[in-house]
Amino acid sequence: MNTTTQTTAATTLSIDGMTCGHCVQAVTKALATVPGVKVQSVAVGLAVIETMDGWTTAKAVAALEEAGYPAKAVGDAAATAASVPAKSGGGGCGGAKNATPEGKPGTKTSGSCCG
């Protein structure tokens, strides 16, 4: 009889570029698309996910990078959640993600996500 138990580990991700609730939604959506990732919580600058291995965690970080949010795993969620400083967004990010001075879409001119 072959019995294998797969265990998941909670990992805290430090995420740059998040400033508001829209960013939280975008990060949550990006993480939800990664197979093998269970999202525990997302807040401005921080996400706690469960994965089975480091490879899946790396895929989650890559998905966030692709969505425009540089991220890195900072360790075990239980050990690091209290040590990762909360980032405040001040209520909104104040600019369009794809706005340009000439009004041409597609070139990001600020770290903001919504207008």
CATH number at residue 30: 3.30.70.100
Residue 1 belongs to some domain of the structure: no
Query: Which pLDDT score, from 0 to 100, does residue 107 have?
Result: 37
Banded pLDDT at 28 (limits 50, 70, 90): very high
Banded pLDDT at 4 (limits 50, 70, 90): low
Q: Which domain holds residue 19?
A: 8-115
Residue 92, pLDDT above cutoff 70: no
* Single-letter amino acid, residue 20: C
Residue 82, pLDDT above cutoff 60: no
Task: Write the pLDDT tens digit of every residue in 29-80.
Answer: 999 999 999 999 999 999 999 999 999 999 999 999 999 999 999 976 554 4
Residue 37 belongs to some domain of the structure: yes
Residue 2 belongs to some domain of the structure: no
Total domains present in the chain: 1
Query: Which pLDDT score, from 0 to 100, does residue 1 have?
Result: 55
Whole-angstrom distance, CA of residue 13 vs CA of residue 60: 9
Q: 3-class SS at 80? A: helix
In terms of DSSP H, where are the helices of the chain?
Answer: 21-32, 54-66, 77-80
Residue 96 belongs to some domain of the structure: yes
Q: What's the whole-number mean pLDDT along residues 7-27?
A: 94
Nearest to 97 by CA among 31, 47, 34, 26: 26
Q: Name which residue leads in pLDDT, 40 or 3.
A: 40
